[in-house]
Structure 1
Amino acid sequence: MCVRVLGDKTRLDEDIRTRIAELEEATKNNDGLHFQIAINYGGRDEIVRAVKKLSAKVQSGEVDPAGITADTLEGYLDTAGIPDPDLLIRTCNEQRISNFLLWQLAYTEFYFTPVPWPDFTKEELIKAVEAYNHRDRRYGGLKEE
């Protein structure tokens, strides 16, 4: 399992930042599951931090602004190198994304359930995955007739 901690880590204690860095380094080449932990995370903040990092590269001459694409910006997000989620499950019938993974959820399928998180069971997960499997994913494209 590859572990990644998302969020603004600069406000965390130095010893915690060190442990996070060690954990991410130790698991970075593991494939299969991607386990992401959000600490001090906000989607808008993530995008702002990514733009600031990219802007610094432009100012230093390392990046040509004419060549900036969506993929370029993605490389500066907390989730760089991690696939975007295919499915987001919201419990308690919450029908909002709550400032979470704003960039990455662009083409994610959403599943809403009235079941509260503490009561979310394997059976409910199976329902969500089955519903997802019946979706016609178009990734922003139009439905072909």
Structure 2
Amino acid sequence: MAIEVGDQAPDFELRDQHGTPVKLSGHRGKKIVLIFYPLAFSGVCGNELDAIRDELIADMPEDVKILTVSVDSTFAHRAWADQKGYTFSLLSDFWPHGQVARAYGVFDNEKGCAERGTFIIDGEGVVRRRVVNPISRARDIAEYRKALTDLP
């Protein structure tokens, strides 16, 4: 079942690249850009997360938090974050495999990983924007910047 605009975002708790638990509801009051991506160390994913690091975070308001999620382990996320200089949260949906991606309706059962799903969540935990791209098609980071500025 896919999460749609206007739905309450399903809460979750996953570990980031440092092994620290991160709970979605722990960020109430902030706008969340929740980004699901297929796999670390892959070309399109790397280009997207580089754009988040270089373009989106640079002029992002303080009340916005970036959370990225893939089925990779915390160890893979740590190695990738260290190599690429990612300072935002890379959350591991490793076990149970893809459980959070499934809750948001963006898990690809055939490939065993998440599709490129992005959910912009307001401070009350309501999904205000949902975009799901096929695994092979990169996101438009400028689109998310505009969507964030349109939120109250």
TM-score bracket for the superposition, by shorter chain length: under 0.3
**TM-score, normalized by length of structure 1?**
0.26
Q: Which has the higher strand share?
A: 2
Q: Which has the higher helix share?
A: 1
**TM-score, normalized by length of structure 2?**
0.25
Q: Give the greater-gyration-radius structure (CA).
A: 1
